[in-house]
Amino acid sequence: MKMEKLKKAVGLSRKIGFVCVATADRRGMPHIATAGKMELADEGYLAIKEWFCPGTTANLQTNKFVSIVVWDRDSDSGYQMLGKLEGIEELGILNGYAPDLESGPPLPQVERRLLIKVQKITDFKLGPHSDAED
């Protein structure tokens, strides 16, 4: 896995403002969520912060493998990072009563930070591309 490519992926995520996080449950049923913040945590590690929906965190309890995609539509360039969850840290918990939110669907209650060990990074684009790592 190339650190330079990982740094470019983090830079692209800052430019477009989000990444997609794909997980699967123990039976392999996929789930995709978005996250607003991705950063390098250490060499070969990504930290992703968000108020993740319950499906994402439930999947990661039983299946640690994850795919993170950052893609810029305008330039049709991006990256897919495949890796494994190393840890989940709780950063904040919703505190208080918000009557205007109570009538809608339940919202995530905990902001979490996922620590991902990246095992492979490939190009990601709409057009034909290889999923082989350079």
- Predicted confidence (pLDDT) per residue in 4-46, tens digit: 999 999 999 999 999 999 999 999 999 999 999 899 998 899 9
Is the pLDDT reported for residue 92 higher than 70? no
Residues in the chain: 134
Report how far residue 25's alpha carbon sits from residue 98's, in angstroms, rounded to the nearest whole number.
Answer: 31
Amino acid identity at 120:
K
Q: What is the pLDDT of residue 50?
A: 83
pLDDT at 133: 76
The stretches of the chain forming alpha helices (DSSP H) are 3-16, 54-62, 99-102
> Between 1.20.1560.10, 2.30.110.10, 3.30.70.100, 2.70.50.30, what CATH number should domain 3-123 receive?
2.30.110.10
